């Protein structure tokens, strides 16, 4: 039963990939827009007042520090007036007050802005280029009920209602950057940060007080793959960043799922997003033509459609609808992908409610069983709670399931096994050797729990004509060991399951195995061994116990 929810797991991971690219990049657009405006202002300062580079550098640093309410450092600054206005600078660093415990919010190796006098008079800068840009998103230092309080108020400095009130009418016609990085700093010390490599970014009509079109290509870290994003961002809400609008489309190509322990495949995802940073609605679909669960080793196509609500300010994701199809089976799910609770192992926890109402057991077994032909066929219905905590172990070892299932009209593909089932049905019904030529189908149902690579079945029933098996026990997914006990209920008495002399001799033991109502037989049984070599036998220790 473990792997029946693997598509949900993949879906939640594939959706997590697309969501991370979308929910983190908004901060990237914000930083780009802000820095572009600052560089443009430097060009305007230089054009308006013919001052030296040293004086301009000092004024620009003070201006940025005041408007951003931040600590600002700037290396060299050069001004060139002919043949066109250009301002060039190096080593621009912007750091939030009181955050010396983390890298600077923004670090730029070099930049330049190009403009002409007519454009500057209209407060337009033709082009801004940023090279070696790093935007570091630190963990929230004050994650409390006062999260929305102003940083200045928290560290005792007077609040400036005008900070962030930059020259909102300054427009950059084109802004671009190459090989920038968005770096997500983890909460836990010593843990590696998540780095998003932004190969190319171009923004048009950049201004804090308007919507800004953008196009970008970036490399996703885990799983690795290329993402193309196109859309619009803004206008920027300085009072409440989470209200800033964002919309667009994304195309995530050739993501290698092999980085996740326990699964593999090449995933592609497309979709759209719209809303605000704090409430971003994402609609998308993924295709993985060669999805493979390690324990089974059989690749098969997996297609998933999903709808999610993403909080871009903290990454929390609500999975409103997951619709997955694989082979001849269908899966529906909803849930969330959230940060692990404080004080626990870092990472994100996937929790889902999974329903498989139109599925086939042979499709699920293709994930879990290495043999070319699945051991069983039949209709499957399943409901389960799905929990995948973060960690370094393989997916089957971390996965937690708790649910119930029903198998309808199931048949074993092994001729020997199915033959034994049909023989059992015939004997249980006290039929003659010539009777019952029809193929026997069976029905299974039960509850299950999966944890730490162990599948517990506290209640499992198996019905065939004339017989019923009731079992409870466990199955080890890694070592494939079986440990079950239960009873075999027959419509016939033990002596009626055979003929001739054997039937006469077994009449003596009929009273030992009679059911509670005095009819048929109830035989205590046990099943051990492994999946490839199961051992069936009479549980002699329970023969003389009441209730069997």
221-266 pLDDT per residue, tens: 677 888 899 999 888 775 666 677 889 999 988 888 887 777 888 9
| Token digits of residue 479 | 């070592």
Number of domains in the chain: 2
Give the pLDDT of the chain (548 residues) as one tens digit per residue. 444 444 444 444 444 444 444 444 555 555 666 666 666 666 655 554 444 567 777 877 887 777 667 888 898 888 877 667 888 889 999 887 777 777 888 899 999 988 887 777 777 888 999 999 988 877 655 444 444 444 444 444 444 444 344 444 678 899 999 888 878 776 666 667 777 788 888 988 887 678 889 898 887 767 788 889 999 988 877 566 667 788 999 998 888 888 777 788 898 999 999 988 778 899 999 999 999 888 778 899 999 999 988 776 566 788 899 999 999 999 999 998 887 665 555 667 889 999 999 999 888 888 877 778 887 889 999 999 999 888 777 777 788 889 999 988 888 776 666 677 777 677 766 665 444 455 666 788 999 898 887 889 898 888 878 888 888 999 887 778 889 898 888 888 877 777 888 778 878 887 888 888 778 888 888 888 887 787 888 887 777 665 44
- Only one residue has tokens 């840009």, namely 133
d(CA 167, CA 164) in angstroms, rounded, equals 9
Are residues 158 and 152 in contact, defined by beta-carbon separation less than 8 angstroms?
Answer: yes
Domain assignment present for residue 387? The answer is no
From 70, 33, 180, 206, select the one nearest 125 (Cα to Cα): 206
| Token digits of residue 241 | 């960043």
Give the side-chain half-sphere CA count within 13 A for 155.
10
pLDDT at 404: 93
Domain assignment present for residue 107? The answer is yes
Domain assignment present for residue 70? The answer is yes
Write the burial class of residue 268 (CB in 10 Å: 0-12 exposed, 13-18 middle, 19+ buried).
middle
Please tell me whether residues 169 and 310 are part of one structural domain.
yes
Please tell me whether residues 176 and 308 are part of one structural domain.
yes
d(CA 443, CA 460) in angstroms, rounded, equals 11
Domain assignment present for residue 210? The answer is yes
Please tell me whether residues 349 and 427 are part of one structural domain.
no
β-strand partners of 534: 529
Range of the domain at 118: 2-354
Cα dihedral: 62, 64, 66, 69 (round 10)? -130
pLDDT at 145: 40
Domain end point (choices 332, 354, 376): 354
d(CA 419, CA 333) in angstroms, rounded, equals 38
Please tell me whether residues 346 and 422 are part of one structural domain.
no
Show Cβ contacts of residue 320 under 8 Å, excluding neighbours closer than 6 positions.
Answer: 307, 308, 309, 334
Domain assignment present for residue 208? The answer is yes
Q: How many CB atoms lie within 10 A of CB 141?
A: 14
105-159 pLDDT per residue, tens: 889 999 998 888 777 777 788 899 999 998 887 765 544 444 444 444 444 444 4
Domain end point (choices 334, 354, 374): 354
Please tell me whether residues 283 and 186 are part of one structural domain.
yes
Please tell me whether residues 343 and 471 are part of one structural domain.
no
Query: Dihedrals φ, ψ of 502, to 5°?
Result: -60, -40
Please tell me whether residues 425 and 522 are part of one structural domain.
yes
In eight-state DSSP terms, residue 541 is: G
Please tell me whether residues 336 and 456 are part of one structural domain.
no
Are residues 147 and 140 in contact, defined by beta-carbon separation less than 8 angstroms?
Answer: yes
Please tell me whether residues 421 and 341 are part of one structural domain.
no
Are residues 182 and 195 in contact, defined by beta-carbon separation less than 8 angstroms?
Answer: yes
**E strands present in 165-299:** 171-184, 194-206, 212-220, 225-233, 245-256, 263-264, 266-276, 279-293
In eight-state DSSP terms, residue 211 is: -
| Token digits of residue 369 | 């069983």
- Only one residue has tokens 């198996």, namely 462
Domain assignment present for residue 369? The answer is no
β-strand partners of 318: 309, 336
Domain assignment present for residue 403? The answer is no
Domain end point (choices 303, 331, 354): 354
3-state secondary structure of 67: helix
pLDDT at 164: 41
pLDDT at 99: 75
Please tell me whether residues 342 and 481 are part of one structural domain.
no
| Token digits of residue 133 | 């840009």
d(CA 197, CA 216) in angstroms, rounded, equals 11
Domain assignment present for residue 160? The answer is yes
Are residues 135 and 27 in contact, defined by beta-carbon separation less than 8 angstroms?
Answer: yes
Please tell me whether residues 313 and 421 are part of one structural domain.
no
Please tell me whether residues 29 and 164 are part of one structural domain.
yes
């Amino acid at each position: 039963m473990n792997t029946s929810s693997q598509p949900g797991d993949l879906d939640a991971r594939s959706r997590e990939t697309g969501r991370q690219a979308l929910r983190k990049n908004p901060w990237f657009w914000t930083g780009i827009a802000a820095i572009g405006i600052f560089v443009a202002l430097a060009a305007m300062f230089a054009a308006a007042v013919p001052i030296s580079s040293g004086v301009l550098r000092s004024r620009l640093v003070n201006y940025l520090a005041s408007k951003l309410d931040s600590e600002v450092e700037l290396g060299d600054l050069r001004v060139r007036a002919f043949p066109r206005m250009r301002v060039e600078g190096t080593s621009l660093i912007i750091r939030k007050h009181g955050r010396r415990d983390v890298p600077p919010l923004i670090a730029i190796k070099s930049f330049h802005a190009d403009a002409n006098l007519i454009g500057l008079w209209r407060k337009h800068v033709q082009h801004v280029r940023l090279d070696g840009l790093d935007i570091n998103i630190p963990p929230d230092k004050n994650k409390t009920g006062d999260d929305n309080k102003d940083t200045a108020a928290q560290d005792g400095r007077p609040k400036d209602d005008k900070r962030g009130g930059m020259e909102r009418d300054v427009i950059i016609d084109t802004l671009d950057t190459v090989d920038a990085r968005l770096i997500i700093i983890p909460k836990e010390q010593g843990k590696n940060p998540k780095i998003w490599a932004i190969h190319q970014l171009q923004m048009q009509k950049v201004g804090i007080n308007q919507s800004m079109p953008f196009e970008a290509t970036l490399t996703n870290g885990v799983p690795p793959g290329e993402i193309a994003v196109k859309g619009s961002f803004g206008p920027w809400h300085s009072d409440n960043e989470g209200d800033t609008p964002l919309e667009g489309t994304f195309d995530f190509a050739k993501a290698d799922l092999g980085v996740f322990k326990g699964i593999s495949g090449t995933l592609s995802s497309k979709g759209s997003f719209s809303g605000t940073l704090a409430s971003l609605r994402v609609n998308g679909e993924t295709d993985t033509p060669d999805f493979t669960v390690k324990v089974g080793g059989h690749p098969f196509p997996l297609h998933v459609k999903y709808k999610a609500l993403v909080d871009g300010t903290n990454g929390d994701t609500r999975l409103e609808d997951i619709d997955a199809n694989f082979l001849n089976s269908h899966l529906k799910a909803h849930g969330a992908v959230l940060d692990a609770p404080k004080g626990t192992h870092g990472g994100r926890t996937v929790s889902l409610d999974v329903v498989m109402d139109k599925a086939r057991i042979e499709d699920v077994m293709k994930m879990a069983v290495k043999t070319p032909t699945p051991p069983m066929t039949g209709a499957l219905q399943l409901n389960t709670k799905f929990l995948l905590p973060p960690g370094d172990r393989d997916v089957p070892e971390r996965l937690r399931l708790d649910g119930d299932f029903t198998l309808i009209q199931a048949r074993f593909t092994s001729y020997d096994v199915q033959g034994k089932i049909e023989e059992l049905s015939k004997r249980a019904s006290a039929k003659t050797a010539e009777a019952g030529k029809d193929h026997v189908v069976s029905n299974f149902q039960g509850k299950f729990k999966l944890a730490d690579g162990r599948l517990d079945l506290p209640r499992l029933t198996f019905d065939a004509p004339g017989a019923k098996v009731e079992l409870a026990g466990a199955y080890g997914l890694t070592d494939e060991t079986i440990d079950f006990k239960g009873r075999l209920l027959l419509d016939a008495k033990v002596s009626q399951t055979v003929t001739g002399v054997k039937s006469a001799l077994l009449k003596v033991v009929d009273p030992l195995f009679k059911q509670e109502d005095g009819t048929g037989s109830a035989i205590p049984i046990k099943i051990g061994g492994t999946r490839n070599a199961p051992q069936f036998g009479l549980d002699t220790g329970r023969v003389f116990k009441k209730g069997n």
